[in-house]
Amino acid sequence: MLLTDGIREERLKALAGWTYDPDVRAIRRSFRFADFAEAFAFMTRVALLAEKADHHPEWTNVWSRVDIALTTHDAGGVTERDIALAAAIDAIAA
């Protein structure tokens, strides 16, 4: 179920670094690492988590930076699944 603007903003307060992108109706965050190997290791851990959750990020990687966008395409925007995956990704990055 699509989150209302108010609920989405409330949930984002608990997710440091995540912002809402209204152009693509997704939440976004950039992660920086020491080097490409560390960034790729992070992406591997996130990929395994995403497979288990059956909810996959849109992402790009340029050397030590990983940019992630989360949205639920079926719902047309951000849902609790995106918030939960963002929190799990943050736990991996910590």
Q: pLDDT by residue (tens digit) across 7-59? A: 999 999 999 999 999 999 999 999 999 999 999 999 999 999 999 999 999 99
Q: pLDDT by residue (tens digit) across 31-42? A: 999 999 999 999
Q: Where are the domains of the chain?
A: 5-93
Of 3.30.470.10, 3.40.640.10, 3.30.1360.20, 3.50.50.60, the CATH number of 5-93 is 3.30.1360.20
Considering the entire predicted model, what is its pTM?
Answer: 0.94
Name the token pair of 86: 């963002």
